[in-house]
Structure 1
């Protein structure tokens, strides 16, 4: 990971943490205002890490912030196994650090947008401690043949997944296929589709994310 993440501290007693991963070409600064201004809860600390800069094959090798390389936009496309796992290790280390600071694993939630959501899903499903939930916005599933594998701690963790029906980059069919694949081993998935939303977010989605966080991470 690049520089230190953006951290929005709890304004009250810190009893829960949300880690949210940005999409391709973005940084943690892109999503931090959402948690600062729209989804903030006084007992929750929000962490928005930055991906390292790397060459992205899909974008003609241009260097940009990315959690892993992307080779294509089909379900059958080759995946950057090494890059995905390297980033997942760093995210798991971040969750471990929160636990060492006194936050129980089941008071930690991880989420992300687009490729950040893909990494959030993979990092959570392969984590060895139970989490509060996963948020995957306009996202997709990576390393699907490895899931759930021998990992059981988050096999049935609650998942909030959302997608726009006008997404030109990560088509709605990716989101639908992701939901179907996850439901094979995890029935606790809520999937919402937003009419007219592209590869972005909307006010109703923010409200739904906030409701999911509030339900899974109530004040304590």
Structure 2
């Protein structure tokens, strides 16, 4: 992955945004996948937010017979302990970190930036958010899990220990089983992070109530 910024879809709720949400999509999707959710959030007019939905690079994915698709990292195995390719996670986290730096250079304070992601994108949000040196407004991890959780204690930065982390998962998720998300939540809590855990009656997707809860959470972290 080059030093060039990741391409992204940009949606602003109001002119002259003072806050930013960088939201990573899941495997095989693109930044266009979640862009329509901004209107559904119905954020208040007083809150001017720039949403960036970056496109993951295309790469072969082992579990999909090496098919080329947008992915934040390779998935080499269905084994729960090694499904996320660490090298790919680190590479993508570095690329998203450059997006954060770019937003800061454009005048958005780090403490007004939320890192978020769904599934694979949530893995990147958690990996970067717990290690980044900037103090963030929040971290949002939806229907996801953690890459090599046993390394968190040694690698975590204290910078975002008090930063709100919203974790949400479907009770009937067959792609990323519920227990994997809950295990990530417990690892965060055990390491002193300010994480919350909410489950919904859904599969590997988002639901209406979850969208409402995300909107309320964003209002709180940006207030």
TM-score, normalised with respect to structure 2: 0.91
Per-residue CA deviation, residues 91-138 of structure 1 (Å, 9 max, x unaligned), is 001001111111111100010000100111111111111001111110
Q: What is the Cα deviation at residue 186 of structure 1? A: 2.8
Cα distance in 1 between the residues matched to 2:150 and 2:108: 31
Cα distance in 1 between the residues matched to 2:81 and 2:36: 35
Cα distance in 2 between the residues matched to 1:165 and 1:74: 20
Cross-structure match for 2:116: 111
Answer whether contact 1:163 1:175 (CA < 8 A) is retained: yes
**Residues 37 and 206 of structure 1: CA distance in aligned 2, closer, same or farther (over 3 Å):** closer
Moved over 6 A (4+): none
Q: What is the Cα deviation at residue 187 of structure 1? A: 4.3
Answer whether contact 2:40 2:211 (CA < 8 A) is retained: no
Cross-structure match for 2:32: 29
Match of 1:163, SS state, is strand
Identify the range of structure 1 (178-187 vs 131-140) with the bigger mean alpha-carbon deviation. 178-187
Cα distance in 2 between the residues matched to 1:150 and 1:3: 25
Q: What is the Cα deviation at residue 38 of structure 1? A: 2.8
1:14 has 2:20 as partner: no
Cα distance in 2 between the residues matched to 1:85 and 1:39: 33
Aligned length: 217
Cross-structure match for 1:158: 164
Answer whether contact 1:4 1:49 (CA < 8 A) is retained: yes
Structure 2 unmatched ranges of 5 or more: none
The CA RMSD over aligned residues, in Å, is 1.7
Per-residue CA deviation, residues 143-169 of structure 1 (Å, 9 max, x unaligned), is 323324252211332100000111111
Identify the range of structure 1 (143-152 vs 13-22) with the bigger mean alpha-carbon deviation. 143-152
Cα distance in 2 between the residues matched to 1:100 and 1:23: 27
Identify the range of structure 1 (201-210 vs 6-15) with the bigger mean alpha-carbon deviation. 6-15
Answer whether contact 2:6 2:95 (CA < 8 A) is retained: no
Cα distance in 2 between the residues matched to 1:112 and 1:209: 12
Cα distance in 1 between the residues matched to 2:52 and 2:65: 31
Cα distance in 1 between the residues matched to 2:138 and 2:6: 26
